Amino acid sequence: MFTRTEIARALSGEPFGQRLRFFSSIGSTNAEAVRLAATGAPEGTLVVADEQTSGRGRASRRWFTPPGSGLAISLVLRPSIAGNRIGHLALLGGVATAQAIESLCNLRPQLKWPNDVWVNDRKVAGILGESSLNADGPEWAVLGIGVNVHAGPPTHAQTRHPATFLAEQCDGAPDRVKLLLQLVRALAEHYPELGKAHLLAAWERRMLWRGKRVRVLNPKATSIKGIALGLDSEGALRLQPDDGRAISITAGDVSLTDT
């Protein structure tokens, strides 16, 4: 059962399980975690909900978490990293989510830059990092993770890429409490790598479309094509356009292209 009692019991020995805020329904766990972080909540505060009624996705998109459908969590962090490495937050979420899924399902999840987890060519989870930066680096950061477990987005939702859910891909959907436990463990395991090359390498080992020709649509709706090479030290996408000079891309939506 996905209840406060069961979750608290499962996470009782975990570093990121000591400050649990559970909601059977909430607007957005990220919004709640941002509110808590901005008012002094300590690192490790974990917001978990069974249902989100206005879940936030990247680029002002919506994220759907009907009751009983998936995992929606947000973790408050106070990382000691340079502000220009804040993009590592989404990479941490991706690596941890892929590892957690892999530990319970016979799947090899891949990571699509900057914040998606894919299995069998479909998106199964999304990451949303939010932060407050000052001159010395992040004052606080919130790492939000949504995993489709028993259902994906509703058919009326306009998703940019095909979506799926674990029950569709895994032999028997994983229990959500067990998945949450694996996820908070993986987050604690990889958190010390935030800002470091080790995390970038772990992410790149799972990178979707590495070495393939992709198109990146940037937030100003212009697009650029090239070979996806990997990540730079800040976690930006390294792309080699047709003129051959590798460039770093800090924001955009990546898709596969054959032109």
Smallest gap from residue 123 Cβ to ligand BTN (A):
7
Q: Closer CB to ligand BTN, residue 29 or residue 164?
A: 29
Structure tokens, 180: 């949450």
Q: At what angle do helices 88-104 and 197-204 cross, to 10 degrees?
A: 50
Smallest gap from residue 245 Cβ to ligand BTN (A):
30
Chain center to CA of 7: 20
Q: At what angle do helices 176-190 and 88-104 cross, to 10 degrees?
A: 140
Smallest gap from residue 198 Cβ to ligand BTN (A):
24
Q: Where are the alpha helices (DSSP H) in the chain?
A: 4-10, 29-38, 88-104, 166-169, 176-190, 197-204
Are the C-beta atoms of residues 73 and 180 closer than 8 Å to each other?
yes
Q: Closer CB to ligand BTN, residue 49 or residue 226?
A: 49
Smallest gap from residue 62 Cβ to ligand BTN (A):
9
Q: Closer CB to ligand BTN, residue 128 or residue 202?
A: 128
Q: Return phi, psi of residue 241, to 5°.
A: -70, 180
The C-alpha atoms of residue 248 and residue 19 are separated, in whole angstroms, by 37
Q: Closer CB to ligand BTN, residue 157 or residue 246?
A: 157
Tell me how far CA of residue 127 lies from CA of 1, 24, 115, 116, 212, in angstroms: 24, 21, 5, 6, 23
Q: Return phi, psi of residue 186, to 5°.
A: -65, -35
The C-alpha atoms of residue 148 and residue 71 are separated, in whole angstroms, by 7
The C-alpha atoms of residue 198 and residue 10 are separated, in whole angstroms, by 29
Number of residue whose CB is nearest ligand BTN: 126
Q: Closer CB to ligand BTN, residue 128 or residue 166?
A: 128
Q: Closer CB to ligand BTN, residue 41 or residue 226?
A: 41
Residues forming the site for ligand BTN (CB under 6 A): 28-30, 52, 55-58, 61, 63, 72-74, 115-116, 126-128, 144-146
Smallest gap from residue 145 Cβ to ligand BTN (A):
6
Smallest gap from residue 17 Cβ to ligand BTN (A):
17
Smallest gap from residue 238 Cβ to ligand BTN (A):
21
The C-alpha atoms of residue 248 and residue 114 are separated, in whole angstroms, by 12
Q: Closer CB to ligand BTN, residue 105 or residue 124?
A: 124
